[in-house]
Amino acid sequence: MFHLLDIARPLSFPPEADNEMVMQLLAALILTILIEYGVLWMLLERRKKVLLSSIAVNVLTNVPLNLYVMLVNDSMGDILIGEAVVFLVEAVWYWGFTRNLKQAAIYSFLCNAISFLIGLLLSFAYVLTFGIRN
């Protein structure tokens, strides 16, 4: 799951920042969907029901986890616990469509690991480019 971990500044959301938060959530969700759909495609998954279900499951898992990270706790430990929960939820989700537990676990693990790592790289690139904001 891609995260827009805005590690460059502390979390505080005054009323005027609501639009910024919504945009961050949408950006994280759209990037996650694109990345994970692409991962499934590269794994040679072509069943439309599986590919389209990846969009739905990301709406159900990405938004709540990113809200938690943005509003409650952005510690790496809690993010990794959240990622583990997302992995389990998505593995069960994919199992419901594939009826193959091994395949579902591989899909969930690779999709989430790749999108998470891309998120970390993008966050790191942001900090290198713009520095840490207060």
Neighbours of 73 (CB within 10 A): 13
pLDDT tens digits for range 95-133: 999 999 999 999 999 999 999 999 999 989 988 998 876
Output b/e per residue, 8-47; b: 16+ Cβ within 10 A: eeeeeeeeeeeeebeebbeebbebbbebbbebbeeeebee
> What is the model's pTM?
0.84
**What ranges in the chain are assigned the alpha helix state H?**
18-42, 48-71, 76-98, 101-130
Looking at the predicted structure, is the pLDDT value of residue 10 above 60? no
| Tokens describing residue 62 | 């990405």
pLDDT tens digits for range 38-84: 999 999 999 999 999 999 999 999 999 999 998 898 899 999 999 99
Q: What does the domain layout of the chain look like in residue ranges?
A: 17-130
